[in-house]
Structure formats: C-alpha cells, structure tokens
Structure 1
Amino acid sequence: MSARRPELSRRGFLTGSLLVAAGTVLTTACSTDPTAGSSSGAKTTLNVWYHAYGEAGTQQAVLRYATAFTKANPDIAVKVTWVPGDYASKLNATLLTDSAPDVFEIGDFSESLARRGQIAALDDVYGSARSDFNTNAVDTVTVDGKLYGVKMIDDVMMLYYRKSTLSKAGITPPTTFDELVSAAKALTTDKTKGLFVGNDGLGDSPSLAAFSNGSDLVTPDGKVAFGSAQALEALTGLKRLHDDKSLLLGFTTDWWDPAAFTQGVVPMQWGGLWSMPAVVSALGDDFGVLPWPAFKAGAAPVVRVGGWTSCVNAKGANVAAAKKFVQWLWVEQSDLQKDFAESYGFHVPPRTSVAASAQKLSAGTAKETVELAAKYGKHYPGTWDTAVSSTFNAAAAKITAGQGDPSALLADAVKKAQSEIDKQLGR
C-alpha cells in the first residue's frame, strides 16, 4: 500500500509487537511499545516498524522474514512492531525519543529525514546490487549523492473502470480530462456517482491535475513549481467534477480500498495495483485500467508511483545490526522480495531482476498497469512532506469548492510551501 492513503488504519488484526530470536517467535506484547519483550540471549535486539498493511497475510509474512533472518543471524533478535492508525504521525513523534525504532519503513520518501540526520546513509548496504534497482527507486532516496533508504515495493496508482457499465452507457474509456468529466457526469444517477477519487473529493487529484498539464510540483533544486499557469488551469478544471456532483464522497472506506468499485457503488475509481487481486476476485475480467488523462492536447497522462522504503535510524544504538537486517531482507533475499510484491496484493519489485521474475505481473491487466507506470509514472519529490503537501491540497480544496480567487489561493500556497521547503534545505 502506498504512503498517502490515510496512514493507514485498515483491518489490522494484530496491533502490537512480536519478538523473534534464533528463528522463533518468543513473546507478544499488547501495545506498540518497542521496549517490551525479551531478546532470549541475543546480543542485539532490533525494533522494526511496519504500518498496518491491509492486505491479508502481510503481517504473517514480515514475521516469517524476521524468523528467517534470526535463524541466519542468531545473535540478533528482531521485534516486529505493527503500527495501526496514523503511522506517519506516530513514527515522526517516536523518532524524537529514545524509543525510536532501529529500522522502519516510510511511504513517499522525505529527504528532510536525511537532512536532519535521522536516517543513515545506506550506500554500503546496496553494494554491487545498486545497478539492479530501477532508476526511480534510486533517485527517490538519493540526497546529496548518498542513498538513505532501500525501496521495498513500488506502488502504482491508476484509474479502474467497469467495462460493462461504460459499454452499456455507450461511453468510451476516457483518455482526456474532458472525457473523464463527461463520463463521470453521464454515469452519475440517483443511486450512484460516476467517479471516486477519495472521501474528501480530492485524494491525489490535485497533484495529478498539475502533472497532467505539464507542471511539476517542486523542482529538483527545491523551488515550488505548482504555482505555474498550467497547474492553475488544471486545478481550476477539477472544479467541474465538483460542480457536476459526480464524485462519490464519504464512503465507508477511502480510495485505497476497492470496495466502492467492486460493490458497484461507482463505475470508475482511482486506486492502486495492490487492490487488483481483490478486484479480479469480485469482477473477473469486467474491468480495465487507465492513467489519469492528460488535461489537454500536448500534455501527458499520469500514473502515480509511490511505495514503501526501508530506513535505518541513524541515532539508534544498533546501526550496524540494522543495516545488516535491511541488506539481508531488501537486497540479498530476492525470493522474499518477490513474495512480498506478489502475494499480498500486487506491487512492483524495485529491483529489475526481481520484477522480471514476477509472473503475476507479467500478463493481463497487471502487466498493462506496470507498462503504464513505466510510460507515464510520476512520483512525489523528496521535499513533498506533510507541511508542503497539506498547503497545496488545502488551496486545491478551496479552488474546487469555489471558495476564493484561484490565482490568489495558489499564490498564497506557493509562498507557504516555499517557506517550508527552505526550512528543509536550511536556506
């Protein structure tokens, strides 16, 4: 699952820590307190944090990986801490304390963690395998020439559509923004809405709109770019979806879960590749996938690529052991990397050799999605932290709701976001 889903309080069946040592699960704790448990004689105990993945079997998988690691490295115990709820907030708060985890995953990579000295450089962890990681996986974790994380999975986000519903309505799958607006309006009835992008009516759509009209969000040198004329035009265009009342709002789960789509509440939904097994189970082959359409002629459609990255706490007491764990799992164990990508929802392995062997992603709609990501994929810049993205999205919410002058709202957001980025970069 990707990082920008509501950080992620989904269907967690266990909430706490499990301690693994010498290849055996030893103890359980009823909280996420990383100090609980016994290391059963191991010289070092690593605390490893994961957000509460919603896909069934994921928690058991990471415990199984930890068991295999401790069997190979009996001097290092691993406490797997499964964190439900607002993972990002809990992680950021804990990183400021002595209870900070040794190893933790983060969603869309934030280079501010590296600039604050909170995560360790991992160039030595990659070794000769560096060239086997795709360009995006390397670029997104690079800060001032050093690598500060190892990408675990690439998450692809795109539009799902119900083939039979669109066909019955005489609607061709939309390839332009105008066509998307028209289709969403035509497919809206007294009982259903035409499109679901998120419970707030926004989801990723503001950034998708900017990208789809040729605008960046932030330049590589840290200059805010979403104040461009192209971004303003596209954000203003999003208002049409709201004015038409064709967006599903306030569903029981958010866009990261396919339930609104699979239950027939909407015929089109922004979602993730991770949901495809559930979509296939519910709908068979009665669905297709599309990129977010180009805003107008001359621009390009968009597929968002996010994912999760494993990082090491630079201020922890067990940096060497933590690096060993990350290297063992996310660099050396290609079979486990493939299992993690294919067996608990669908994700794209960041290593090209592993991706090439991922059979479940090599055919049908899954293959089509991977190809769309390769052609149209966009990822958030490393400076796109909560403060920056929240400022942008707040302006987009007001623009789409008609609450003020769009140009003035966006200009104010640019000013605030630039201030936040300058703080990140120490300028």
Structure 2
Amino acid sequence: MKLKLLQSGTTGLLIVAALTGCGYSQKAEQDSFGSSGGGLEGRTITFVTGSHPWVDVIKPLLPEFEKETGINVRIQGYFEDQLTQKLTVQFTARSETPDVFMYRPLQEGKLFFRNGWLEPLDAYATHDVDYDLGDFLPQAIRSSTVDGKLAGIPIVTEQQILYYRKDLLNEAGLEVPSTIEELKEAAAKLHHPDQGVYGFVARGQRSPLVTQVSSFLYSEGGDFIQNGKAAINTPEAIKAFETYGGLLRDYGPPNVINMSWPQASAFFANGKAALYTDANSIYRAALDQEQTKVAGNVGFAPFPAGAEGPMPYNITSWGLAINPKSADKEAAWAFIEWATGKQMMLLTQQAGNPGPRTSVWNDPQGTIGFPKELAAVFKQTINGGVDHDRPQTVDVAAAREQVGKIVQMVITGESDIQETANQANAALQDILDKEAE
C-alpha cells in the first residue's frame, strides 16, 4: 500500500493519493464470509453514511476498493437525524438495502438489534485472524455489543475531556483542574461576565446534556442503571447532577439551557468561556483558525476526578453494520473489513478521527493528525473510562428525557431536586420494565 499525505492546517491530514493495493486480489481462496474479496466481482452494495469527517476520508478511496475487489459501492449520505429516519423506514419495510450503513451504537443499537435490523458480526470478525478483532479497544467493542452479540464494528471513538483557556488560567495563577472540586473553584475564579467571559460552558439542552453529565455521574460512583435497576435518584447521581447543573447555573451563560454542542463549542471558541467539558472528537471547533478567536490559547486535559477518580465515558460514537436482509452480506463484510482494517484505520485517524484500534494508537504515525497536547490526552484516556454515555435502553430518547429534566431543574435554580429525581427514576424504571416484558 502506497500512501501520500499532506498537512492540512491544524485539523489533521488530507489524503491526496489513493491506495494502490489492499491485498484482496492476492488471496485466491474464497471463504464463506467473503473476507478475501474473491468471487465477489460484479456485485453491488449500497453504503449509507452519516455526515461525518470519517466519510470524507473513505470516499476518495472507494474506487481502489472497487478495483481490487470488483465490488461496486453506491454511497448515500444523510445528516444524523435524517440517517436514523432513513434507516428506520427502510428496515421497517424489510428492504434489502442498504447493505452497509453507519449507525450510532449507543443511540440506536439496542432498538435496531432487537428489531432484527443488525446482522450479528461475531463470526465475520473472528473468521480471519489477520483482521485482529482483539486489536480493538475493549470499551469500543462493549459499546457495540448488544445482548452479548457484536452488532457493529467501531469506526470512531469519543472520550470526554476538559478544554481550557491557557491564558486565563495563567493570568489567574491557576493550575489546570485535575479534580471536579478544582474545576468548580477555577470556574468561580475565572467567571467575569462583566468582561464577557464566563467561568464554564457545556451542553444545557435537556437531551444533549445527558451524555456530558454522564462522566460526572461515573466519577462520583454512580450510573444511570445499576444492577438492572434505574439509579438516577441515588446520592451519587444527585451529587453529579447538582455539580454539573450548578456549574452551568452559577458560571454559565444566560442561555445555556438552549445549548447543544455546536452552540457550546462556538461559545468557547469565541473566547466567551474559560472552561469547557465535552467530547474530544469535536476539538476542531476550538482550533479552526477561521472560526475561533482563541486557537493559540486552547489547552486540553483529561476529565477531572470525582470521588471515584476520573471516570469519563469512553465510547464508540459511530460504527458500521450490515443489514440482515442484504442480498450480498459477503460483499458487505468485505467492505467493512477493508474500511476497518489496520491500514484504513491509520488513514482515518491521521485525518483527525479518533479510532478504536490499539495498534494505531501505539503507532507514532497514528497521532500525527492531532495537536501534540491533545494526542497525549487521548492516549491517557483511551484505555479507561466507561463504555456508555447515556442510559442503556431501547427507548434512549425517553430515558434521556428523564435524566435531562433533573439536571435542567438545577440549571434553572431549583434547590431541591430529590423529589423530581425520584419521579424520574420511577419513570426510567417503568421504561426498563416494559422493555423486559
């Protein structure tokens, strides 16, 4: 495989020359899973994608995959919400297309799998030892597993980290917060709304905030569900929700309750917040020279420790899956095997997409797509943390609603959230009980 890469600003590396061989045609033997690509010439598969930078790396390389395997790939792209709607309509109609698709394992995984819309991939992924399923991060695999079955193959991972303003911390004589208590203290000292700078910003919208409060919850020793039971009214949960909501109430912008990640990241990038916690995968928003006013002063740090230490989420945010109704599962798997193999994962990660393969993270070339400081934080966080960032239910949207309303009560100034948490916990338990029937 011959690769040629050029530096593209601060956002990673751009592929300018394609692969000249993936080795598929070198294997003469065809097996039942199509991992060799042999015997698949002339077949056509439909690949449905979400709107993601990972896709931008894959697209220019598809002609070479087609040349080597003889498989034709039709690609269709949609925004996230459109993608879910598209897939739901197709699968409900028992359509044979798409053959391969991107999906969000923690948002749709349980629903899709239990509806019979995800082909179990255990046998495919373990058939060829060279594919090396064991090379994938354990947390990434767990995020993509439903009812003990591998429902998809991870392609993009996320961990929650701390973004901070180096200049503001230096001016105030503060160290980078390493604990949640230090985070609260720093937010208080750096909060100067009269000067246009708020101490802290993060997602405040009801559903989007759930994934970000999760790391606060885990770091205090809690979880959304414990031992199969709803647990969002425990002392650990109350403490986490009050901490996150309190940071936004006391040190966040007035309209924070309307912010998801695009609004929160833009607020930070425009120099209006000193501290910001969110996914490491959205770091580009803070570094884009054309969009941000603080690019040279952005620092990255691991998520701060709570009572149980630092326990950020460490998840698969996007995966690839096969439609069980596909007429060309072997060709579909050949595509996934190519797209998620070590060489392609190196390319997609070099382009700034944090991937799931340990070997790529251990390769010095695997981190050149990220700022050095951020790469160091990545390497500290990828081997720990929790493999989910929201309640693990079939009806994720309803479960997130229950968590989000508790936190929003704190943001809007409620002093006692226990009763609301008890009611929300009962509602979450009802969701779990109905799913167990």
TM-score computed with the length of structure 1 as normaliser: 0.77
Asked if residue 106 in structure 1 is aligned to residue 103 in structure 2, the reply is yes
Counterpart of 1:64, as a letter, is P
Q: Is the 8 A contact 2:160 2:215 kept in 1?
A: no
Aligned to 1:84: 79
Asked if residue 291 in structure 1 is aligned to residue 270 in structure 2, the reply is no
Asked if residue 115 in structure 1 is aligned to residue 103 in structure 2, the reply is no
Within the candidate set 277, 297, 303, 2:312 is matched to 303
What percent identity do the matched residue pairs reach? 24
Within the candidate set 176, 189, 192, 2:179 is matched to 176
Q: Which has the higher contact order (CA 8 A, sep 6+)?
A: 2
In 2, the alpha carbon distance for the partners of 1:253 and 1:411 equals 26
Superposition pairs of residues 275-290 of structure 1, within 5 angstroms: 275-276=282-283, 279=286, 282=289, 286-290=297-301
Report the Cα offset of residue 253 of structure 1.
8.1
In 2, the alpha carbon distance for the partners of 1:43 and 1:218 equals 48
Distance 1:59 1:252, change over 3 A: farther
Report the Cα offset of residue 376 of structure 1.
4.7
In 1, the alpha carbon distance for the partners of 2:147 and 2:205 equals 36
Residue segments in structure 2 that go unaligned for 5+ positions in a row = 1-40
Q: Is the 8 A contact 1:253 1:259 kept in 2?
A: no
Report the Cα offset of residue 267 of structure 1.
2.1
- Find the residue that maps to 1:338 and give its secondary structure: helix
In 1, the alpha carbon distance for the partners of 2:259 and 2:421 equals 29
Aligned to 2:66: 70
Q: Is the 8 A contact 2:160 2:212 kept in 1?
A: no
Q: Is the 8 A contact 1:210 1:226 kept in 2?
A: no
Distance 1:254 1:243, change over 3 A: closer
Distance 1:146 1:205, change over 3 A: closer
Choose between structure 1 and 2: higher helix proportion: 2
Q: Is the 8 A contact 1:273 1:369 kept in 2?
A: no
Distance 1:226 1:92, change over 3 A: farther
Superposition pairs of residues 222-237 of structure 1, within 5 angstroms: 222-237=228-243
Q: Is the 8 A contact 1:181 1:240 kept in 2?
A: no
Q: Is the 8 A contact 1:214 1:230 kept in 2?
A: yes
In 2, the alpha carbon distance for the partners of 1:400 and 1:320 equals 51
C-alpha RMSD over aligned residues: 3.1
Aligned to 1:212: 219
Residue segments in structure 1 that go unaligned for 5+ positions in a row = 1-41
Per-residue CA distance 1:179-209 (angstroms, 9 max, x = gap): 3223223323221222221253872443222
Per-residue CA distance 1:226-267 (angstroms, 9 max, x = gap): 332211122123342244243464699843574433331222
Q: Is the 8 A contact 2:212 2:278 kept in 1?
A: no
Distance 1:253 1:90, change over 3 A: farther
Aligned to 1:398: 409
Counterpart of 1:91, as a letter, is L
Q: Is the 8 A contact 1:222 1:383 kept in 2?
A: no
Number of residue equivalences: 376
Aligned to 1:9: none
Superposition pairs of residues 200-279 of structure 1, within 5 angstroms: 200=205, 203=209, 204-219=211-226, 222-247=228-253, 249=255, 254-255=260-261, 258-276=265-283, 279=286
In 1, the alpha carbon distance for the partners of 2:139 and 2:199 equals 33
